[in-house]
Amino acid sequence: MPMSYPPPQYFADHGTAGATYRPAGTEPDLTIGVKSRVGYLATGATTAGRFGLYRWDMAAIPNGPGAHFHRTISESFFILEGTVSLYSGERWLDAAPGDFLYVPPGGVHAFSNDSGAPASMLVMFTPGAPREAYFEELAEIVASGRQLTQEEWTELYARHDQYEAL
């Protein structure tokens, strides 16, 4: 059966002005230690839960989460600059500008910048879960130097639909 468009969400006779513009020079919304700068391009809150899109700029030092999966969201990666190591659930790939990886709910994945040079990518979650709270919690942990136990990490991840791949 062919795929169809979803049900209409807008019912007026004429379109409306409703676009959101973010100039390229906008400062990041969040810095996580010295490793990552994150721009909230479109959050679940600004897209009525449809998707979340983030620019993730990584310093020239290894960084990124370990292998994990999500139960409620898909995650997509599009490389803008540099080389990003992406884990597809089966193997690590050295992704270059223009490369794309889609991970469905339940798909094991990870990313890291192991290249020795800065790298940048777009990360998209669908539907638009409130990932900013997770990113901000990570930034606070890094900034404070707080050390979490494995149990505390597991609880933090579970609150944000993130589960370590075993």
- What percent of the chain is predicted at pLDDT more than 70? 100
* Mean pLDDT, all residues of the chain: 95
- Identify the three-state secondary structure at position 107: coil
Tell me the sheet residues that pair with 89.
none
Confidence of residue 46 (pLDDT cuts 50, 70, 90): very high
123-158: pLDDT as tens digits: 999 999 999 999 999 999 999 999 999 999 999 999
Q: For strand 36-42 and strand 30-32, is the pairing parallel, antiparallel, or unpaired?
A: antiparallel
pLDDT at res. 63: 83
pLDDT at res. 119: 97
CATH code given to domain 30-164 = 2.60.120.10
What residue spans define the domains of the chain? 30-164
pTM check: above 0.85: yes
Instruction: Give yes or no for residue 26 having a pLDDT over 90.
Output: yes
The mean pLDDT of 2-29, rounded to a whole number, is 92
pLDDT at res. 95: 98
- C-alpha torsion sign, points 40, 46, 86, 23: negative
Q: How many angstroms separate the CA atoms of 41 and 55, rounded?
A: 7
Tokens of 71: 């139960």
Q: Which residues of 110-140 are buried (b: 16+ CB within 10 A; e: fewer)?
A: bbbbbbeeebbbbbbbbebbebbebbeebbe
60-77: pLDDT as tens digits: 998 889 999 999 999 999
Instruction: Give yes or no for residue 103 having a pLDDT over 80.
Output: yes
Tokens of 137: 């919690």
